[in-house]
Amino acid sequence: MPGLSFNIPGLQPMRGAQQVLSVYNSLSRRIEPFVPLKVGHVRMFTCGPSIYQRPHIGNYRTYLFQDVLLRYLEVSGYTVVRGLNFTDIEEKSILEAAKRRMDVLELTKRCERAFWHDFQRLQMKAPAYNPRSSTSVAEAVQLIQKLLAQGHAYWHDGNVYFDPLTFAGFGKLAHLDMTRWPQKRRRFHKDTYPGNRWNRGDFILWHGYKPEDTVYWDTVIGRGRPAWNVQDPAMVLQTMGLTLDLYCGGEDNLVRHHDYSIAVAESVTGQPLARFWLHGAHLLVAGKKMSKSIGNVIYLDDLLTAGFTSEEIRFFLIYGHYRERLNFTPERLTHAAAKLRVARELIDTIRGVGGSVKRSEPEVADLARRLMREFALYMDADLDVKGAFEAIIRTLHQLAHLATEHGITGADAQKMLDSLAQVDQVLQVFGLASSS
């Protein structure tokens, strides 16, 4: 099992020999030690955006918890391969493009550029793979052919549907009570449905061509387009294969979406699509869901224009635990920004007094070791960023007091700054580490 591999001369490893990362697995509904399929290697897929509209800070909260997870796995010694997909062809994007009198791919390309621009400003790490639903049609058709041959899917009125009752264990991620599933066949034709209501019936895999359609492909199963429900498994198949260690998304993916992906993929392979499923909670605005109809949607540019830095916004969005809903108010963001400024001021104090004495202080090395151990302790407990940050603040106060009252050597100051830089490889809020 990899241990934290921070390369700081003279310091001991962060975590103890028996200490490992544990995460809340939505599949089992309990916190479990993270054990990948292959020692030292992690295959991680994260549900990306539907790029028919500009992403907002609620979307970015989900991707930020995934970024912290990715970075922490890497500093813990794992080699991580991550995929993040774009849904660029679906009913929402087709309708939005028609509304704007644009080509659908022109619309989604514009939204994609906005997404990557914000992604970089929030210092998130680019994925190894970024598949799109428009470029994985062949894989979707391949999956549909296999599902038809196995009897999990069937044709009706030119479309292809998946019958959940043919897949043993359907709904295992959302822990559905399948005794309530109707025996009478019902079909649901749309890519997506609003709200948290389960569609208790067959879900669509393939939209057969209609004369009014503007987006379609000519394939071996006919003219049409893959439905959203098969697109994610197709993109995973195209890039990483249908056996993963981690699958991540927002809490809304626990209704319909991820169980549909499991049913499609596992019906084909007979193997678990992923061993661990992690889901982040929503960002609320003054206690309400972010919504265009309410008029409370907030974009990254809004907060930057208000004077907050990208690091302060990132910190606010990762500071609350990823499985707990976070309530945005201007006051809460201001408070979080102030906490981060205190930490950065303490770091500047340590940097400024380094070299004020010639004799090395053993207590500095002890504080550096404790900082790293406590950081690992909290992060190993299901990514407790808040606990980790508070431990860092406590240590910084002690070190700053030591530095200003007694003085420290330049080497001692650099030792602590090196420790903080390694921690900042994960947090990306102190301005000490590369964002790559």
* Model confidence, pTM: 0.93
275 located within any domain: yes
Same domain, yes or no: 246 and 314:
no
Cβ atoms of residues 150 and 102 within 8 Å: no
Same domain, yes or no: 124 and 260:
yes
Cβ atoms of residues 367 and 398 within 8 Å: yes
Report the CATH number at residue 224: 3.40.50.620
304 located within any domain: no
Strands 159-162 and 30-33: unpaired
Same domain, yes or no: 390 and 353:
yes
- Best CA proximity match to 43, nearest among 339, 305, 246, 326: 246
Same domain, yes or no: 43 and 145:
yes
DSSP, collapsed to helix, strand or coil, labels residue 184 as coil
Instruction: State how far the alpha carbon of 138 is from the alpha carbons of 202, 224, 421, in Å.
Output: 23, 12, 44
Same domain, yes or no: 93 and 164:
yes
Per-residue pLDDT 10s for the chain (436 aa) are 454 444 433 333 455 545 689 999 999 999 999 999 999 999 999 999 999 999 999 999 999 999 999 999 999 999 999 999 999 999 999 999 999 999 999 999 999 999 999 999 999 999 999 999 999 999 999 999 999 999 999 999 999 999 999 999 999 999 999 998 998 999 999 999 988 889 999 999 999 999 999 999 999 999 999 999 999 999 999 999 999 999 999 999 999 999 999 999 999 999 999 999 999 999 999 898 887 768 899 999 999 999 999 999 999 999 999 999 999 999 999 999 999 999 999 999 988 887 777 767 788 888 989 999 999 999 999 999 999 999 999 999 998 888 888 788 888 888 889 999 999 999 999 999 776 6
Look up tokens 């621009």; give the residue.
117
pLDDT, residue 115, reads 97
Strands 274-280 and 244-250: parallel
Same domain, yes or no: 254 and 385:
no
Same domain, yes or no: 346 and 422:
yes
pLDDT, residue 5, reads 46
Same domain, yes or no: 373 and 280:
no
365 located within any domain: yes
Q: Quick one: CA dihedral 19, 22, 28, 30, positive or negative? A: positive
**Paired tokens of 118:** 């914000």
Residue 276 corresponds to which amino acid? F
CA 374 to chain centre: 24
Residue 257 corresponds to which amino acid? H
279 located within any domain: yes
Same domain, yes or no: 167 and 275:
yes
pLDDT, residue 357, reads 74
45 located within any domain: yes
Task: Please spell the DSSP secondary structure of 262-284, one letter per residue.
Answer: HHHHHHHHSS-SEEEEEEEPPEE
285 located within any domain: yes
Same domain, yes or no: 272 and 367:
no
31 located within any domain: no
4 located within any domain: no
Same domain, yes or no: 313 and 272:
no
Same domain, yes or no: 41 and 111:
yes
Instruction: State how far the alpha carbon of 182 is from the alpha carbons of 91, 161, 189, in Å.
Output: 27, 16, 17
Give the domain extent around 410: 309-319+329-427
Look up tokens 């198949």; give the residue.
237
**Paired tokens of 353:** 């007094």
Instruction: State how far the alpha carbon of 96 is from the alpha carbons of 108, 131, 134, 188, in Å.
Output: 10, 21, 16, 21
In the chain, how many domains are there? 2
160: Cβ–Cβ under 8 A, 6 or more apart, which residues?
A: 144, 147, 148, 153, 154, 204, 205, 206, 208, 221
SS (H, E, C) 198-252: CCCCEEEEEEECCCCCCCCEEECCEEEEECHHHHHHHHHHHHCCCCEEEEEEEHH
